[in-house]
Amino acid sequence: MKVIVTGGAGYLGSHLVDKLLSFGENVFVIDNFSTGREENISHNIGRKNFNYFRADLRYPEDWHPFFKDAGVIMHFAADPSVRESFFKPDKHFRDEIVATFNVVENARKYDVEYVVFASSSTVYGDASTVPTPEEYKNLEPISIYGGFKLACENILKVYSKLYGIKLLILRFANVVGGRGTRGVVYDFVVKLRRNPGVLEILGDGKQRKSYIYVDDAINATIHLYNLLIKKRLPHDVYNIGSEDWISVDEIASIVVKEMGLKDVVFHLNPQTPDGRGWVGDVKNMLLDITRLKETGFKLKYPTSGQAVSRAVKDYLKVVSISR
Ligand SMILES: NC(=O)c1ccc[n+]([C@@H]2O[C@H](COP(=O)([O-])OP(=O)(O)OC[C@H]3O[C@@H](n4cnc5c(N)ncnc54)[C@H](O)[C@@H]3O)[C@@H](O)[C@H]2O)c1
């Protein structure tokens, strides 16, 4: 079966591509390389089962014929910067909503059977139930990014209902490690490489969230996708996160320890009166992953602390002192 991965040159997408290829799948990447990188996929170029096409999903011109014989679209293309979405809602509208509409509309036209969508914990906003289960009803995102993710979920759901596309929605917590180049953990490593004496922390340091190591996030994606195919469910949604949460100042301490530093001064910089790191920053996020575990899936790094420690080791291999 031909598997199309949109955003396959990005962070999560490229790990997904590697995993799919390791299972012998026939993988086709569509990416505009806005945040994606050649180096994320270069090791696969020339492989028999791998192809890619540089194209922009906002414009349904040249790429849609590749959907013709596809069995599944794994839609991972997006602009994932929650913070910047506040300043560029129009860009996010096109990268999220227009692109997702174009993807699912062409999935319908070409009779693609399955769509897997990379959604986010941000659809829950400041949830009153924590850990937050998939069934949580009061979905009130507090960022443009989260609002548009929820809108995309709804577009996909109605297509699934009306046209029979089998849909898997994955709401990821914060994914860390591997090829990641953004997020608080990476940010701290970069800052401490530049200046090992002082660490600026956006927010009051008390923001408490769940972090999952990238291998676990991708293995869960493949596991659930296989389940979707086996069970032939019409529509399903799963949280993908770790067992617990961790505060930003705890993350700072882990990073400092992993880097072997001492006497680092933490400089707190709250951006909102209630201590958030930016407008739209969810202060407390922990996903209920009972459903994921009930499928038999096991995390290799079950706690956020373990995921963060492992991610720091990855980042230290690539973040140079001059960055
Ligand atoms: N990384 C996380 O912690 C996290 C958490 C929750 C959800 N997600 C979601 O997972 C998906 C992947 O995120 P990521 O962290 O790998 O981000 P990323 O920026 O590394 O990957 C996104 C990819 O999409 C491509 N892209 C963007 N707009 C495009 C367009 N219009 N046409 C074609 N390609 C386009 C980019 O070039 C990039 O390769 C996104 O949907 C993101 O919202 C990520």
So what's the pLDDT on residue 231?
Answer: 81
CA angle 5/7/13 to nearest 5° reads: 70
Distance 263 CA to ligand 1 centre (A): 36
- pLDDT value at position 323? 45
* pLDDT at position 321: 57
287 lines ligand 1 (CB under 6 A): no
Check pocket membership of 201 for ligand 1, CB cut-off 6 A.
no
Minimum CA distance residue for ligand 1 atom 43:
80
* Ligand 1, pocket-test mutation among 15, 17, 29, 34, most atoms within 8 A of CB: 34
Task: Output the CA 79–ligand 1 centroid distance in Å.
Answer: 5
pLDDT of the residue at 51: 97
pLDDT tens digit at each of 323 positions of the chain: 899 999 999 999 999 999 999 999 999 999 999 999 999 999 999 999 999 999 999 998 899 999 999 999 999 999 999 999 999 999 999 999 999 999 999 999 999 999 999 999 999 999 999 999 999 999 999 999 999 999 999 999 999 999 999 999 999 999 999 999 999 999 999 999 999 999 999 999 999 999 999 999 999 999 999 998 888 777 899 999 999 999 999 999 999 999 999 999 999 999 999 999 999 999 999 999 999 999 999 999 999 999 999 999 999 999 975 44
Ligand 1 contact, 175 CB (< 6 A)? yes
Q: For residue 36, how far is its CA from the centre of ligand 1 (angstroms)? A: 8
* Candidate of 57, 82, 175, 181 to mutate for ligand 1, largest count of ligand atoms within 8 Å of Cβ: 175
Answer CATH for 2-175+213-240 from 3.40.50.1860, 3.30.365.10, 3.40.50.720, 3.30.360.10: 3.40.50.720
Partners of 172 in the β-ladder: 120, 240
Domain boundaries, the chain: 2-175+213-240, 178-210+243-318
pTM above 0.85, yes or no: yes
Cα(11) to ligand 1 centroid in Å equals: 7
If one residue of 18, 31, 150 were mutated to test the ligand 1 pocket, choosing by the most ligand atoms within 8 A of its CB, it would be 31
- For residue 295, report the distance from its CA to the centre of ligand 1, in Å: 26
CATH topology of domain 178-210+243-318: UDP-galactose 4-epimerase; domain 1 (3.90.25)
Q: 294: Cβ–Cβ under 8 A, 6 or more apart, which residues?
A: none
- Give residue 265 CA to ligand 1 midpoint distance, Å: 33
Instruction: Measure 273 CA to ligand 1 centroid, in angstroms.
Output: 30
Cis-peptide, bond into residue 89, ω within 30° of zero: no
Q: Comparing C-alpha atoms, which of 248, 245, 298 is closest to residue 269? A: 248
CA distances to 36, 98, 104, 195 from 56, in Å: 12, 11, 15, 38
pLDDT at 232: 73
Residue corresponding to tokens 């917590």: 173
- Is any atom of ligand 1 closer than 6 Å to the C-beta of 78? yes
Atom of ligand 1 nearest to the CA of 35: 37
Distance in Å, CA 233 to ligand 1 centroid: 26
Q: Is 245 in the pocket of ligand 1 (CB under 6 A)?
A: no
Q: Is 211 in the pocket of ligand 1 (CB under 6 A)?
A: no
